[in-house]
Amino acid sequence: MPTLFIRLTGCPLRCTYCDTRHAFSGGVTLPLLEILRRTAASRPRYVCVTGGEPLAQKNCPALLTALCDAGYSVSLETGGALDIGGVDPRVSRILDIKTPASGEAKKNRWENLDLLTPHDEIKIVVCDAADYTWACACLAERRLAERCPVTFSTAIGSLDPVDLAGWILRDNLPVRFQLQLHKVLWGNAPGK
């Protein structure tokens, strides 16, 4: 779906496959009303607040609520290490679960799983066969597919998407397969 992305700066994680290192620092501080004005100028139906890690910014919950109040369908992409409890319930939360190959699996905040609803989503980026085995065990043991939709994705360059798709089909997993479509279309260009 055509979506406007609002990328917030800063992230406490350093995943091995991070594709947005440019969001670790820098950026410009904008007042909430200016963000809403720029958003309205783009005339989006869908708005995704992402990062870095958007929840690392103290004003992120207020931004999410303001976007919902303005009538947009709003999603939040979060790395899963910070508490999602303060997020407006109208926001669709896309929660990453970090695998061992990400280098950040110890920072998964498992308590977030109990806060998810059926309109949220879990995303697991799989880097190799060992990650896939780990993700399958997590899927079963934590009954992830019973909570909300689950997506398995590959980081471009770490695992052939054909392999991951084949494993999902072979094992008849109740998950969606995702490619980083923006990477396929535009490469690593910031802002895409």
- Give the total residue count for the chain: 192
pLDDT tens digit string along 115-157? 999 999 999 999 999 999 999 999 999 999 999 999 999 987 8
Domains belonging to the chain, first-starting first, are 3-186 (3.20.20.70)
Say which range, 25-29, 118-122, 127-131, 169-173, has the weakest mean pLDDT. Answer: 25-29
Rounded percentage of the chain residues whose pLDDT exceeds 90: 66
pLDDT band at 14 (very low <50, low <70, confident <90, very high): low
Environment class of 182 (CB within 10 Å of its CB; exposed 0-12, middle 13-18, buried 19+) = middle
* Strand partners of residue 73: 46
Its pTM stands at: 0.88
For 21-83, give the DSSP string: GGGSS------HHHHHHHHHHH--SEEEEESS-GGGSTTHHHHHHHHHHTT-EEEEEE-SSS-
Residues near 167 by beta carbon (within 8 Å), at least 6 away in sequence: 132
